[in-house]
Amino acid sequence: MIKTQNWLTGFFQKAATLVLLSVSVLLAGCSQESDTGGFAGLAQAIDGSQSEPFLQPGPGDRLRFPDDWGPHPQHRIEWWYLTANLKTADGEPVGVQWTQFRQAIEPRPASEEPPAAELWPLQAAWMAHAAVSLEGEHRFAEKFARGDIGQAGAVANPLDIWLDDWRLTQQPDGALRLQVNTPQWGYDLLLRVQGEPVAHGDQGFSAKSASGEGSMYFSLVDIAISGELTLKGETQTVAGRGWFDREWSSQFLKAGQQGWDWFALHLDSGDKVMAFQLRQQDGGFLSGTWIPESGESVALPPDALSLTPLGFSGATPNLWRLQIPQYQVDINLAAPAGSYINNGLFPYWESPLSVSGSHSGEGYMELTGYRGSP
């Protein structure tokens, strides 16, 4: 496992350093081997003299729309995250991921206007990830930006999230358009959201340990997607369905937690499942959400589900068994053949998956903190 209490602690320490080096500003404590605690160790390390504290979500907090689509400048870390199971016109499966992260360097009350861009403020760093998986090949790219100067940002209403020319924007008819371009590949997708956001955990507060640390977390679980994928100089149409996560916190993983395993599933029965576990030496913390085809979603406490690795790609589990006895779920979750490491500043696994067993279907999984990543 990566020798850090918090995978994202080291990740954002290094990411922010790359951003700030571009303007000749160095931050201390930017080692992958850092023992900095909390969810965002970079912010924790440098915010001791701030007059405004970082806010930490708790069980009493509630979601607020449309505001929660936008940034939370008084929280340390947040992200917007899309995964999609698509197919080409020839029926070839395509996996797509896009994530944009915001890491606060110092807190700012939500009611306070951001500093003027011409002052080159240093309150946040941004990072974006994108990936495409097709025919056993996995392609990944990442970008970094300094916040509050226009290079990257997010606006809640109408929704607009960008870093350079990677952009997710709400269209006049309410659909979302996602555009990602790299020198070798890109995609231009239209996302039509069906249904309301699903709140995880306690009405949006998702615990990440038995002692109560956690985040605010909701998802769009039913998104019809169509558009174009450009690869190797050729453009082809793609279509399918996606899952969109929105999450923010100031203290995520606790000491001793070594990484996480996350799954988002579309079952052919019409039901959907989100499940995750945070691994630690003496076991782990599990949680999830059962989202029936019709009716209200149900929070799954740790004793309501189990996750067991059954097969490996190197040191990374690429075949899992998920059991949810309450809903007669006993399924295998399998990645396609190949390696799906997002080989960026900090490598992690990000792959589509197929579902078999008591239910069939498809989905996505993200796995972090395993030894042996490139």
Whether 2 maps to a domain, the answer reads no
> What one-character-per-residue DSSP string does 280-314 give?
ETTEEEEEEEEE-SSS--EEE-GGG-EEEEEEEET
Amino acid identity, residue 217? Y
Whether 81 maps to a domain, the answer reads yes
Q: Would you say the C-alpha torsion 100, 106, 112, 116 has a positive or negative sign?
A: negative
Per residue in 305-361, pLDDT tens?
A: 999 999 999 999 999 999 999 999 999 999 999 999 999 988 999 999 999 999 999
Nearest alpha-carbon partner for 249 in 298, 291, 200, 306: 200
| Rounded-to-integer distance, Cα 225 and Cα 240, Å | 5
| Rounded-to-integer distance, Cα 175 and Cα 193, Å | 7
Whether 327 maps to a domain, the answer reads yes
H or E segment and range at residue 11: helix 7-21
Whether 372 maps to a domain, the answer reads no
**Total domains, the chain:** 1
Whether 337 maps to a domain, the answer reads yes
Whether 75 maps to a domain, the answer reads yes
Task: Decide: 358 and 331 in contact? Cβ < 8 Å.
Answer: yes
Residue ranges making up the domain that contains 336: 7-367
pLDDT at 43: 31
How is residue 169 written in tokens?
A: 């924007």
Task: Decide: 267 and 273 in contact? Cβ < 8 Å.
Answer: yes
Whether 266 maps to a domain, the answer reads yes
| Rounded-to-integer distance, Cα 178 and Cα 188, Å | 6
| Rounded-to-integer distance, Cα 141 and Cα 183, Å | 10
φ, ψ (nearest 5 deg) of residue 300 = -105, 115
Per residue in 234-252, pLDDT tens?
A: 999 999 999 999 999 997 6
Nearest-5° angle of CA 91, CA 350, CA 341? 110
| Rounded-to-integer distance, Cα 171 and Cα 225, Å | 14
CATH number of the structural domain spanning residue 88: 2.40.370.10
Task: Decide: 208 and 252 in contact? Cβ < 8 Å.
Answer: yes
| Rounded-to-integer distance, Cα 248 and Cα 214, Å | 9
pLDDT at 11: 45
| Rounded-to-integer distance, Cα 97 and Cα 341, Å | 12
| Rounded-to-integer distance, Cα 153 and Cα 162, Å | 6
| Rounded-to-integer distance, Cα 374 and Cα 149, Å | 33
| Rounded-to-integer distance, Cα 278 and Cα 276, Å | 7
Name, in order, each residue with C-beta under 8 angstroms of 126's C-beta and a sequence gap of 6 or more: 19, 100, 101, 102, 103, 144, 145, 146, 147, 151, 152, 153, 163
Going by the DSSP 8-state scheme, the letter that residue 335 receives in this structure is: P
Whether 1 maps to a domain, the answer reads no
pLDDT at 32: 31
Half-sphere exposure of 324 toward its Cβ, with a 13 Å CA cutoff? 21
116-155: burial string, b at 16+ Cβ within 10 Å, e else: eeeeebbebbbbbbbbbbbeeebebbbbbbbbbbebbbbe
Task: Decide: 240 and 87 in contact? Cβ < 8 Å.
Answer: yes
Low-confidence stretches of the chain (pLDDT < 50) are 1-49, 373-374
